Copies of this chain bind each other. A is one copy, B any other.
Amino acid sequence: MLIGELSKKSGFSRDTIRFYEKIGLIKLEDDLRDRYQFKDYSEGVLKRLQAIRKMKEYGFTLQETQGLFLLFEEGILDPVRGIRYVERKIRRIEQQINELNSMKEKLQEIVDRPSGEVCPIDEVLHAMNC
């Protein structure tokens, strides 16, 4: 199929698809163009794009996705490794959540603090005589 159809079916813009091609995240298995010199994408590429979409939803970066695809293609991705990989990702996400929670708590303290004449973001700007 041509890039327009692939774009519609995958939900990625043409530019994004071309960008993914440029970084090697998707490949045209044979770059034999049809008689009009247009690229002809296979069903496999569409499936790959759908997998990329999933990966994005799971919070994986393109680089992580690419690494996982590589492992998969080399047949190194057995259940045990796969689970470990996902568990590491979960821990990274948990770290991010913790950081955000600590930010949130600090900010909540500012909001909750009974303030009379005191500037509510005094904690933030305390050095500036707010």
Contact = CB atoms under 8 A, between A and B. Distances in A.
User: What's the number of copies of this chain in the assembled complex?
Assistant: 2
Interface string A108-130: 10110001011111011111101
A56 B121 CA distance: 14
A93 to B, nearest CB: 5
Nearest to A83: B120
Residues of A contacting B: mostly: helix
A130 B130 CA distance: 59
A89 B118 contact: no
B107 A100 contact: no
Given A83-B120, A90-B108, A103 B48 contact: no
A58 B93 contact: no
A50 interface: yes
A126 B57 CA distance: 14
A90 to B, nearest CB: 5
Contacts of A126: 51, 54
